[in-house]
Structure 1
Amino acid sequence: MTSDDERLARAALTHVVEPGDTHAGRWLARYGAMGFLDRLRADPAGAPEATPFPGTGEKRVDGWRRRAATVEPRRDLDAAERHGGRLVVPGDTEWPRQLDDLGEARPVGLWIRGPADLRTWALRSVAVVGARACTPYGAHMATTLASGLAEQGWVVVSGAAFGIDGAAHRGALAAQGATVAVLACGVDIPYPRGHAGLIGRIAEQGVVIGELPPGSHPTPSRFILRNRVIAALTRGTVVVEAEYRSGSLVTARAAARLGRHTMGVPGAVTSGLSAGVHELLRGEATLVTDAAEVIELVGDMGQLAPARRGPVLPRDLLGPDTVRVLEAMPAGRPTPLSTVSDRAGASTDDTLARLYELHSLGFVERQGDDWQLTNTPTEGGNLRRGGP
């Protein structure tokens, strides 16, 4: 169980160091949260160690020290509580242990809003990410995937951005399912502003998380660093529409490095919004088209997607000898039995038996002593050929 002092120190450090700072992660692992914070607050001239952070740039350390001198972690904890939030840190029962795979880039802690237990939800979660300026096709696919996953009891994780992220969250919520929004700002800051209502719904029905303390605003670098948390938290990442330069590809490649499943939904080859996804599919990603195919990869052994095949046509139900007689029938004219048997390579008696079978099924009709194909099409095309 995490002590109050450890929690307070980690709350302070979420204000002091930027998310994903591996230098800070190294000293945090070496000194512990309280020891790291004490060394930052100590007078450098009178510190027991001449250089407590060897190998870390002076400018970086100076920035840490300035922020450590002014941070008020109790105020941050109180602000989070006012918004129905809490701080979860390593050692808590709610801490998702898969985040430890990030090593020195592991979050110092996670600020959380929402009633659910994050660790339990994360054990059965999938990230659905993609382009902000998505197409209607992309939005449809993200919504359908997310609702399908939610209906099967999977938690949908995304970044609450416009486009694919928002569509994924809405799909899960529409299915009365579970969804997690990972923000690049404080959990009390609805960003983007246009998704204030959506983020509020997620906080009520799902979970909103972030590495930064209340009141923190996003920056471009924080969006990129946020993506490593999405990748590590989930069992796999699905990319729906992404250009060659896309934060979604950063998430997918981080997932691949962490040994998670990486998946992509194909799109039009003429669309720049699908170019990044197709590049993933040429490499480490697996092509998926629906929730069942995603679950086949990330789910338990034996959770296989249903077999895919086209419709069964009447011709598919015929035996091979009968098919051979059917294919021997020329189109558009009556044909003598002897001609059909010669073309089919069968005896006249056997050919006649097959023709009567085909007649009973509506494939052929008799014209005097001759036989010809019927003009009645089947579902999917001509009876004789099984297609147009």
Structure 2
Amino acid sequence: MGDEERLARIALTRVIEPGDERGGRWLRELGARELLCRLIGPESASVTLPGATERRLTGYRLRAADADPERDLAAIGALGGRFLCPGDAEWPTQLDDLGDARPLGLYVRGVADLRRWALRSVAVVGARACTAYGAHMATTLGSALAERGWVVVSGAAYGIDAAAHHGALAAHGATVAVLACGVDRAYPAGHQVLIARIAEQGLVIGELPPGVHPTPGRFVLRNRVIAALTRGTVVVEAEYRSGSLVTARAALRLGRYTMGVPGPVTSGLSAGVHELLRGEGTVVTDADEITELVGEIGALAPERRGPVLPRDLLEPASTRILDALPARGAVAPGRLARLTGTAYDETLGRLYELHALGFVERHGDGWQLAARTPIRRSAPEGGF
């Protein structure tokens, strides 16, 4: 992309709000230079754009007149950052899936290559006012994903976002913060140190030019970038009305993997996640299950099963004889043979084997369960 087109896109980041599909359509049809000329050129007062009211055009013209792209470029450069445009080698092409809602460009702080990082990234998002359980899960997931070479993407907000970033940073891994304001601003203010650390160890990105403050609408629209940028989105705690669910639904629309970490059914902070899981979301409980979904073919999570107990290692014939022994009292081997349908000699042999393993004891001519067997037999369902 030429310098003039790039500068025009930078100027338009002060004119067109993130996610404005009408503005994106104008940009696609006219190009950045031509669109900017129509807003600030000598004939701009008489120019119309499809679908724009005169009132809206007046607002665009006022914003465009105040735009100074070279100043914004210098400001991001002073932070050691850069401005990325579609078509740049570092541009994450998965953002193109947003169509006309695609960002005009991205302001980036950090030295890593955004395009390469985005190819192996997972979003971890959730409630700001999270519980200790939610914070623990987000931290654990962020750390474990980073240890497995995955980039953890979130929004640097309080709660789950911060926990996911902290987890990745603690593992000396890669993390990306997507802001709803200028990347030179720390929002929330209490995360100034965190955002600075992310910029040093990872990447801080945003659509808005330096100095711009966030608004509620910009937070919602920021979430579409998180969803499009990553291979999948994991929601850790969310109420029914939650920006995290906006991210998850955007991921669903874009064909990305959408996952949720279940929580207590009595918690309102789990209600939104459970509703997501009742639909097209997938239950995940650890990083292995996440990477099984978003990773390469063959990256399977380990098989989940309980501990192997001594009784599990017995042969079926020995297990039948053990099951036939009463909870109390001794039984003659002949009666056990009849109860289990096993030959007398084999029954006796199995009893001696079970005795050697500590399952049974001999009392005179009878056999009974050992006082302390390796595994006690539970009562059958419904009781005796």
- The verdict on a shared fold, with TM-score over 0.5 as the criterion, is yes
1:292 is the counterpart of 2:312: no
Percent identical residues: 68
SS of the equivalent of 2:13 reads: helix
2:91 to 85, 92, 95: 95
Counterpart residue number, 1:80: 76
2:236 to 208, 222, 240: 240
Counterpart residue number, 2:26: 27
| C-alpha separation in 1, matches of 2:63 and 2:372 | 82
Question: After alignment, is 108-117 or 55-64 more displaced?
Answer: 55-64
SS of the equivalent of 2:124 reads: strand
Please tell me whether the aligned partners of residues 40 and 64 of structure 1 are also in contact (alpha carbons under 8 angstroms).
Answer: yes
State the one-letter code of the partner of 1:63. G
SS of the equivalent of 1:16 reads: coil
| C-alpha separation in 2, matches of 1:159 and 1:62 | 32
Quote how far apart the aligned CAs of 1:322 are: 1.0
Task: List alignment gaps of at least 5 residues for structure 1.
Answer: none
| C-alpha separation in 2, matches of 1:60 and 1:173 | 43
Cα 1:286/1:384, change in 2 over 3 Å: closer
Counterpart residue number, 1:323: 319
Quote how far apart the aligned CAs of 1:377 are: 4.1
TM-score normalized with structure 1 length: 0.96
| C-alpha separation in 1, matches of 2:247 and 2:260 | 12
1:87-142 CA-to-partner distances (Å, cap 9, x unmatched) read 11111111100000000000000001011111110010000000000001000100
Question: After alignment, is 12-21 or 335-344 more displaced?
Answer: 335-344
1:376 is the counterpart of 2:375: no
1:247-269 CA-to-partner distances (Å, cap 9, x unmatched) read 00000000010000000000000
State the one-letter code of the partner of 1:305. A
Matched ranges for 1:31-50 at <5 A:
31-43=30-42, 47=46
Counterpart residue number, 2:5: 6
Counterpart residue number, 1:145: 141
Matched ranges for 1:298-377 at <5 A:
298-377=294-373
Task: List alignment gaps of at least 5 residues for structure 2.
Answer: none
2:174 to 178, 185, 207: 178
Quote how far apart the aligned CAs of 1:42 are: 2.7
Please tell me whether the aligned partners of residues 120 and 150 of structure 2 are also in contact (alpha carbons under 8 angstroms).
Answer: yes
1:45-98 CA-to-partner distances (Å, cap 9, x unmatched) read 775xx63x1222332222111101111111111111112221111111111000
| C-alpha separation in 1, matches of 2:379 and 2:170 | 44
1:3-47 CA-to-partner distances (Å, cap 9, x unmatched) read 111110011001111100001000000000101101111345775
| C-alpha separation in 2, matches of 1:106 and 1:122 | 15
| C-alpha separation in 2, matches of 1:272 and 1:45 | 52
TM-score normalized with structure 2 length: 0.97
1:64 is the counterpart of 2:23: no
Matched ranges for 1:101-116 at <5 A:
101-116=97-112
State the one-letter code of the partner of 1:121. W
SS of the equivalent of 2:240 reads: coil
Quote how far apart the aligned CAs of 1:198 are: 0.3
Aligned length, in residue pairs: 382
Please tell me whether the aligned partners of residues 360 and 373 of structure 2 are also in contact (alpha carbons under 8 angstroms).
Answer: no
| C-alpha separation in 1, matches of 2:164 and 2:323 | 50
State the one-letter code of the partner of 1:382. R
Quote how far apart the aligned CAs of 1:203 are: 0.3
Please tell me whether the aligned partners of residues 36 and 64 of structure 2 are also in contact (alpha carbons under 8 angstroms).
Answer: yes
Q: Give me the CA root mean square deviation.
A: 1.7
1:208 is the counterpart of 2:204: yes
| C-alpha separation in 1, matches of 2:126 and 2:45 | 51
State the one-letter code of the partner of 1:184. A
Question: After alignment, is 361-370 or 338-347 more displaced?
Answer: 338-347
1:267-295 CA-to-partner distances (Å, cap 9, x unmatched) read 00000000000000000110000001000
| C-alpha separation in 2, matches of 1:59 and 1:307 | 61
Cα 1:45/1:37, change in 2 over 3 Å: closer
| C-alpha separation in 2, matches of 1:195 and 1:45 | 42
SS of the equivalent of 1:335 reads: coil
SS of the equivalent of 2:31 reads: helix
Cα 1:15/1:348, change in 2 over 3 Å: same
